[in-house]
Amino acid sequence: MSEEKSLNFIEEIIEADLESGKYKTILTRFPPEPNGYLHIGHAKSICLNFGLGLKYGGKTNLRFDDTNPVTEDTEYVESIKDDIRWLGFNWANEFYASDYFDQLYAFAIELIKKDLAYVDDISAEEMAILKGSPTEPGKNSPFRSRSIEENLALFTAMKEGKYKDGEKVLRAKIDMGHVNMLMRDPIIYRIKHAHHHRTGDKWCIYPMYDFAHGQSDSIENITHSICTLEFIPHRELYDWCIEKLNIFPSHQYEFARLNMTYTVMSKRKLLQLVNEGYVSGWDDPRMPTLSGFRRKGYTPESIRNFCDKIGVAKRENLIDISLLEFCLREELNKTSLRVMAVLDPVKLIITNYEDGKTEELISENGPEESMGSRTVPFSKELWVEREDFMEVPAKKWFRLAPGALVRLKSAYIVKCEGFTKDEAGNVTEIQCTYIPESKSGGDSSGISVKGTIHWVSAAQAINAEIRLYDRLFKAENPAAEEGDFKDNINPDSLQVINNAYIEPSLATATPDSRYQFLRKGYFCLDKDSTKEKLVFNRTVTLKDAWGKEVKRN
């Protein structure tokens, strides 16, 4: 078991409820609206809800909150299920709020019969005026005193499609002078002549969130209904509906939503990025969606660890994305396969190495012996990283420079004897000699060098495309900036390298594998890869370059 951790406030409530016998077992739910892909904020809610179910021997339902026919789609339903499974959780039941439309309709009829709901004909504008303000009570609508019979007839006619969108609504009859504005006769049903992705054209009236959510919880016997802080004012209405309908008393608890630096976290905003072409899709590796993180190479473990580390707060805050990256590095450092890839290649010729000869050198796959080793071909012509050579070396430069010695990883020590430049002054070739006795694993040269660089053998190397990602936004909290949040997009968030060379073992790379390209970061195979061209995404750099930069300034 992990180290002793203090309980979060929801766990405290649950333990008290179990101890007092209020519930024998707990049932939580994750209730996404299928109007977009899940983002890292949803992961927080998933880990919390499913985590509680697991911790307390209870269960968790997946319930699609599909009461808004216009924005919802089955594509989203499938992606949401995929993402939850990928995160490592299983739901006890898959439900849809739309499965309850008949029941919810019956609840509405019941409220009308109890004189607790009425059909209102006033316009949205009039309704807003009559609603009052936080400091001023509202006024009753002239239609508030309709008889039960008339309300039943009108509501039935609404259901039968006798009216146009917006012509009538059903409102709960509560109190137009209530201090909580949401309790001032909230709309509970509206007319919407729209095709629903599950119920088709059966309905032209749809329940509002507040009339669907609590009742759906209750229908499923959810014990602890956990949502984000903005729903605090809704709790009163949630409780009112349950009380008046005299149904299973589910309870709502609120926690602070996850906000993260350098990104946005609302599906509406993310949809804009997709629709307006700022990213290649919902699973663009720069997106904060779970599918984006997955494609970028994030692991479910790293995201679960992150959610665990940030805990469950009662107050809104902004979490540093470096914490998520830290969780990821911590894992990839242990598990990723070490390989060699040269992203900005320059030729290195070993002048005293036999023409046409190839040696298969052994290289470790990772820090653990259990990860094994592989062979990498070595020959006279190699690719090395352009930045590993300096014509005029800086102080403490331990890499390639005229006259300098350096070790080629898992191979030999070489001495730089010269280099060639083109007319533009770019280095086109570096000439070295190698020391045959210095072979890694059996070095008898007696020479010690400070620098080790990575390389690939030119004849066997595979040409690959490498995609390097940076933050999608320049501003720490783009949604809080003035103006359009998209004005803060980082124009350099994607860098595509077309002519990288990777070691031949990567020919059989699989999408599930995680690689550390030595000294370059963690990478994974992208779904755009073809037989002709492998494409790799950089998942994360080896170190937190941003953190360092801040310190330097």
Binding site for Mg ion (CB under 5 A): 33
Q: Which of 8, 228, 373, 541 binds ligand ATP (CB under 6 A)?
A: 228
**Least distance in Å: CB of 68 to Mg ion?**
9
Q: Which of 257, 286, 374, 380 is catalytic?
A: 257
| 267 is annotated as an active-site residue | yes
**Dist. CA 57–CA 49, nearest whole Å:** 12
45 binds, among Mg ion, ligand ATP, none (CB under 5 to 8 A by kind): ligand ATP
DSSP 360: E
**Residue 257 a catalytic site member:** yes
Closer of 171 and 234 to ligand ATP (Cβ)? 234
Question: Binds 338, which of ligand ATP, Mg ion, none (CB < 5 to 8 A, cut-off by type)?
Answer: none
Minimum separation from the CB atom of position 46 to ligand ATP (A): 8
Q: Read off the tokens for 475.
A: 């501003």
Q: Could you give the string, one character per residue 63-92, with x where binding to ligand ATP holds by CB under 6 A and - elsewhere? A: --x---------------------------
230 or 354, CB closer to Mg ion?
Answer: 230
φ/ψ (deg, to 5) at 549: -60, -40
CB of 127 vs ligand ATP, minimal distance in Å: 24
Q: Please, what's the b/e burial string for 319-339 (b: 16 or more CB within 10 A of its CB; e: otherwise)?
A: bbbbebbbbbbebbeebbbbb
Please tell me the number of Cα atoms within 13 Å of 388 on its side-chain side.
27
266 binding ligand ATP? (CB under 6 A) = yes
User: What character string, x for contact with ligand ATP (CB under 6 A) and - otherwise, covers 18-57?
Assistant: -------------xxx-------xx-xx------------
Rounded Cα gap, residues 326 and 332, in angstroms: 10
* Shortest distance in whole angstroms from residue 196 CB to Mg ion: 17
Print the SS3 string covering 200-242.
Answer: ECCCCEEECHHHHHHHHHHHCCCCEEEEEHHHHHHHHHHHHHH
Q: What is the dihedral of CA 130, 136, 137, 143, to 10 degrees?
A: -10
The least distance separating ligand ATP from the CB of residue 230, rounded to whole angstroms, comes to 8
Residue 115 sits at the vertex; the CA angle it makes with 113 and 121, to the nearest 5 degrees, is: 100
Residue 33 CB, nearest approach to Mg ion (Å): 5
Task: Verify binding: residue 373, ligand ATP, rule CB under 6 A.
Answer: no
Contacting ligand ATP within 168-227 (CB under 6 A): 227
CA 465, CA 228: separation in Å to the nearest integer? 41
Q: Is 202 a catalytic residue?
A: no
Q: How far apart are CA 42 and CA 195, in angstroms?
A: 27
Catalytic residue among 11, 33, 359, 417: 33
- Between 209 and 398, name the residue whose CB sits nearer to Mg ion: 209
Write the DSSP symbol of residue 327.
Answer: H
CB 486 within 8 A of CB 273: yes
Report the catalytic residues.
Answer: 33, 257, 267
- Chain residues binding ligand ATP by CB under 6 A are 31-33, 41-42, 44-45, 65, 227-228, 257-258, 265-267
